[in-house]
Amino acid sequence: MLIRDELAGDGPAISQLVTEAMLMLAQSTGTEAGIVEKLRADDALALSLVAEDDGVIVGYLAASAATIGTEDGWGLIGPLAVLPSRHRQRIGTALMAEAIGRLRANSRGAVLVGDPGYYSRFKFRTFPSLRLAGVPPQFVQALPFDGTEPRGELIHHPAFGLNQAG
Ligand SMILES: CC(C)(COP(=O)(O)OP(=O)(O)OC[C@H]1O[C@@H](n2cnc3c(N)ncnc32)[C@H](O)[C@@H]1OP(=O)(O)O)[C@@H](O)C(=O)NCCC(=O)NCCS
Protein backbone atom coordinates (compact mmCIF):
# COMPACT_ATOMS: atom_id res chain seq x y z
CA MET A 1 0.00 0.00 0.00
CA LEU A 2 1.16 3.46 -0.91
CA ILE A 3 0.37 6.75 0.86
CA ARG A 4 0.66 9.58 -1.63
CA ASP A 5 -0.57 13.07 -2.39
CA GLU A 6 -3.77 13.43 -4.38
CA LEU A 7 -3.12 13.62 -8.11
CA ALA A 8 -5.16 15.38 -10.78
CA GLY A 9 -8.12 13.16 -11.62
CA ASP A 10 -8.41 11.54 -8.16
CA GLY A 11 -11.28 13.82 -7.11
CA PRO A 12 -14.26 11.65 -8.11
CA ALA A 13 -12.77 8.49 -6.55
CA ILE A 14 -12.02 10.42 -3.34
CA SER A 15 -15.57 11.77 -3.15
CA GLN A 16 -17.02 8.30 -3.69
CA LEU A 17 -14.78 6.77 -1.03
CA VAL A 18 -15.54 9.48 1.53
CA THR A 19 -19.29 9.17 0.92
CA GLU A 20 -19.19 5.38 1.25
CA ALA A 21 -17.07 5.40 4.42
CA MET A 22 -19.18 8.05 6.12
CA LEU A 23 -22.38 6.05 5.60
CA MET A 24 -21.12 3.89 8.48
CA LEU A 25 -20.82 6.81 10.85
CA ALA A 26 -23.99 7.56 12.85
CA GLN A 27 -23.06 11.23 13.28
CA SER A 28 -22.23 11.70 9.60
CA THR A 29 -23.82 14.76 8.04
CA GLY A 30 -23.59 13.33 4.53
CA THR A 31 -21.70 16.46 3.49
CA GLU A 32 -18.14 15.22 4.00
CA ALA A 33 -17.36 14.65 0.32
CA GLY A 34 -18.71 18.13 -0.40
CA ILE A 35 -16.38 19.56 2.25
CA VAL A 36 -13.38 18.03 0.48
CA GLU A 37 -14.61 19.35 -2.87
CA LYS A 38 -15.06 22.85 -1.45
CA LEU A 39 -11.62 22.82 0.22
CA ARG A 40 -10.09 21.70 -3.09
CA ALA A 41 -11.95 24.38 -5.04
CA ASP A 42 -10.69 27.02 -2.59
CA ASP A 43 -7.12 25.69 -2.80
CA ALA A 44 -7.36 25.13 0.95
CA LEU A 45 -6.18 21.52 1.13
CA ALA A 46 -2.93 21.74 3.09
CA LEU A 47 -2.80 17.95 2.82
CA SER A 48 -4.80 15.69 0.54
CA LEU A 49 -3.45 12.19 1.08
CA VAL A 50 -4.70 8.99 -0.49
CA ALA A 51 -3.92 5.41 0.42
CA GLU A 52 -3.64 3.43 -2.79
CA ASP A 53 -3.54 -0.34 -3.06
CA ASP A 54 -3.21 -2.08 -6.40
CA GLY A 55 -4.24 1.11 -8.17
CA VAL A 56 -7.39 1.52 -6.05
CA ILE A 57 -7.93 4.39 -3.61
CA VAL A 58 -8.80 2.71 -0.30
CA GLY A 59 -8.27 5.59 2.14
CA TYR A 60 -8.25 9.38 2.27
CA LEU A 61 -7.21 12.14 4.66
CA ALA A 62 -7.55 15.90 4.27
CA ALA A 63 -5.96 18.66 6.32
CA SER A 64 -6.52 22.40 6.18
CA ALA A 65 -5.36 25.49 8.04
CA ALA A 66 -7.10 26.36 11.31
CA THR A 67 -6.90 28.97 14.07
CA ILE A 68 -7.40 28.34 17.78
CA GLY A 69 -8.31 31.47 19.69
CA THR A 70 -5.89 34.04 18.30
CA GLU A 71 -3.25 31.53 17.23
CA ASP A 72 -3.08 30.52 13.62
CA GLY A 73 -0.72 27.83 12.35
CA TRP A 74 -2.78 24.80 13.36
CA GLY A 75 -3.45 21.97 10.92
CA LEU A 76 -6.98 20.60 11.05
CA ILE A 77 -7.21 16.93 10.10
CA GLY A 78 -10.44 15.77 8.49
CA PRO A 79 -12.19 14.14 6.95
CA LEU A 80 -10.43 10.79 7.37
CA ALA A 81 -12.07 7.87 5.62
CA VAL A 82 -11.20 4.27 4.81
CA LEU A 83 -13.12 2.00 2.44
CA PRO A 84 -15.42 -0.08 4.71
CA SER A 85 -14.23 -3.38 3.20
CA ARG A 86 -10.67 -2.41 4.19
CA HIS A 87 -11.21 -1.38 7.82
CA ARG A 88 -8.83 -2.61 10.53
CA GLN A 89 -5.94 -3.04 8.16
CA ARG A 90 -4.00 -0.07 9.56
CA ILE A 91 -4.87 2.16 6.60
CA GLY A 92 -6.27 4.89 8.86
CA THR A 93 -3.20 4.59 11.08
CA ALA A 94 -0.85 4.94 8.10
CA LEU A 95 -2.70 8.03 6.85
CA MET A 96 -2.65 9.60 10.32
CA ALA A 97 1.07 8.89 10.78
CA GLU A 98 1.90 10.50 7.45
CA ALA A 99 -0.33 13.52 8.14
CA ILE A 100 1.08 14.12 11.62
CA GLY A 101 4.63 13.81 10.31
CA ARG A 102 3.97 16.33 7.54
CA LEU A 103 2.09 18.80 9.74
CA ARG A 104 4.87 18.65 12.34
CA ALA A 105 7.18 20.28 9.82
CA ASN A 106 5.12 23.43 9.39
CA SER A 107 2.37 23.65 12.02
CA ARG A 108 2.01 24.53 15.68
CA GLY A 109 0.02 21.36 16.13
CA ALA A 110 -2.79 19.24 14.75
CA VAL A 111 -6.43 19.52 15.73
CA LEU A 112 -9.54 17.55 14.79
CA VAL A 113 -13.15 16.83 15.58
CA GLY A 114 -13.68 13.12 16.04
CA ASP A 115 -14.11 10.07 18.22
CA PRO A 116 -11.65 10.15 21.15
CA GLY A 117 -11.81 6.33 21.19
CA TYR A 118 -9.96 6.34 17.91
CA TYR A 119 -7.79 9.46 17.99
CA SER A 120 -6.38 9.02 21.50
CA ARG A 121 -4.06 6.36 20.04
CA PHE A 122 -2.37 9.14 18.09
CA LYS A 123 -2.01 11.22 21.30
CA PHE A 124 -4.82 13.62 20.52
CA ARG A 125 -6.63 14.84 23.62
CA THR A 126 -9.05 17.44 24.86
CA PHE A 127 -7.97 20.67 26.54
CA PRO A 128 -10.07 22.61 29.06
CA SER A 129 -10.31 25.75 26.97
CA LEU A 130 -10.35 24.27 23.46
CA ARG A 131 -13.86 24.45 22.06
CA LEU A 132 -16.00 24.53 18.96
CA ALA A 133 -19.51 25.95 19.18
CA GLY A 134 -22.18 23.30 18.91
CA VAL A 135 -19.80 20.35 19.34
CA PRO A 136 -19.51 18.41 22.63
CA PRO A 137 -16.02 19.20 24.03
CA GLN A 138 -14.86 15.57 24.16
CA PHE A 139 -14.86 15.48 20.37
CA VAL A 140 -12.61 18.52 19.93
CA GLN A 141 -9.05 17.28 20.31
CA ALA A 142 -5.58 18.60 19.64
CA LEU A 143 -1.99 17.43 19.44
CA PRO A 144 0.30 20.42 20.07
CA PHE A 145 3.77 19.82 18.66
CA ASP A 146 5.53 22.25 20.95
CA GLY A 147 3.58 21.54 24.13
CA THR A 148 1.64 24.82 23.98
CA GLU A 149 -1.86 24.44 25.33
CA PRO A 150 -4.49 25.31 22.70
CA ARG A 151 -6.81 27.95 24.14
CA GLY A 152 -10.00 29.25 22.61
CA GLU A 153 -12.45 28.60 19.84
CA LEU A 154 -11.43 26.40 16.94
CA ILE A 155 -11.92 28.33 13.72
CA HIS A 156 -11.80 26.20 10.61
CA HIS A 157 -12.44 26.71 6.92
CA PRO A 158 -16.02 27.76 6.04
CA ALA A 159 -16.37 24.56 3.98
CA PHE A 160 -16.97 22.71 7.26
CA GLY A 161 -20.07 24.79 7.81
CA LEU A 162 -21.78 23.29 4.76
CA ASN A 163 -24.21 21.35 6.93
CA GLN A 164 -25.28 24.51 8.80
CA ALA A 165 -25.69 26.41 5.57
CA GLY A 166 -28.02 23.69 4.32
C1 LIG B 1 -12.14 5.53 11.57
C2 LIG B 1 -11.46 4.89 10.35
C3 LIG B 1 -10.85 5.98 9.49
C4 LIG B 1 -10.37 3.94 10.87
O5 LIG B 1 -9.70 3.41 9.75
P6 LIG B 1 -9.01 1.96 9.79
O7 LIG B 1 -8.07 1.87 8.65
O8 LIG B 1 -10.07 0.92 9.93
O9 LIG B 1 -8.21 2.07 11.15
P10 LIG B 1 -6.99 1.19 11.63
O11 LIG B 1 -6.96 -0.15 10.98
O12 LIG B 1 -5.77 2.02 11.51
O13 LIG B 1 -7.47 1.03 13.13
C14 LIG B 1 -6.64 1.00 14.20
C15 LIG B 1 -7.48 0.63 15.40
O16 LIG B 1 -8.52 1.59 15.64
C17 LIG B 1 -9.74 0.92 15.93
N18 LIG B 1 -10.85 1.78 15.61
C19 LIG B 1 -11.33 2.07 14.39
N20 LIG B 1 -12.36 2.95 14.51
C21 LIG B 1 -12.51 3.18 15.84
C22 LIG B 1 -13.42 3.98 16.62
N23 LIG B 1 -14.36 4.74 16.05
N24 LIG B 1 -13.28 3.97 17.97
C25 LIG B 1 -12.33 3.22 18.55
N26 LIG B 1 -11.45 2.44 17.88
C27 LIG B 1 -11.56 2.43 16.54
C28 LIG B 1 -9.65 -0.34 15.14
O29 LIG B 1 -10.53 -1.30 15.66
C30 LIG B 1 -8.19 -0.72 15.30
O31 LIG B 1 -8.06 -1.33 16.57
P32 LIG B 1 -7.01 -2.49 16.81
O33 LIG B 1 -5.67 -1.83 16.73
O34 LIG B 1 -7.34 -2.96 18.19
O35 LIG B 1 -7.27 -3.49 15.74
C36 LIG B 1 -12.45 4.03 9.53
O37 LIG B 1 -13.07 3.12 10.39
C38 LIG B 1 -13.52 4.84 8.81
O39 LIG B 1 -13.33 5.30 7.67
N40 LIG B 1 -14.70 5.00 9.45
C41 LIG B 1 -15.81 5.73 8.88
C42 LIG B 1 -15.48 7.20 8.79
C43 LIG B 1 -14.97 7.76 10.08
O44 LIG B 1 -15.41 7.39 11.16
N45 LIG B 1 -14.02 8.72 9.96
C46 LIG B 1 -13.47 9.40 11.09
C47 LIG B 1 -14.36 10.56 11.42
S48 LIG B 1 -14.12 11.07 13.09
- How many angstroms is it from 70 CA to the middle of ligand 1? 32
Q: Could you tell me if the CB of 80 is within 6 A of ligand 1?
A: yes
What local confidence, expressed as pLDDT, does residue 17 receive? 97
Give the pLDDT score at 29: 83
Three-class DSSP category at 94: helix
Ranges under pLDDT 50 in the chain? 163-166
Instruction: Return the CATH fold of 2-165.
Output: Aminopeptidase (3.40.630)
d(CA 20, CA 2): 21
Give, using CA atoms, the residue closest to atom 35 of ligand 1. 88
Pocket of ligand 1, candidates 19, 36, 82, 86: which has the most ligand atoms within 8 Å of its Cβ, to mutate? 82
Dihedral, CA atoms, 159, 85, 138, 32, nearest 10 degrees?
10
Q: What is the pLDDT of residue 152?
A: 98
Cβ–ligand 1 distance for 130 under 6 Å, the answer no
Q: What are the boundaries of each domain within the chain?
A: 2-165
- For 98, 109, 139, 143, 154, the CA distances from 104, given in Å and listed in that order, are 10, 7, 22, 10, 19
pLDDT of residue 163: 44
Q: State whether the beta carbon of 75 lies less than 6 angstroms from ligand 1.
A: no
What integer pLDDT is reported at residue 148 of this predicted model?
Answer: 86
The CB of 24 under 6 Å from ligand 1? The reply is yes
Per-residue pLDDT tens over the stretch 108-136: 999 999 999 999 999 999 999 999 999 99
Q: How confident is the model at residue 165, as a pLDDT? A: 38
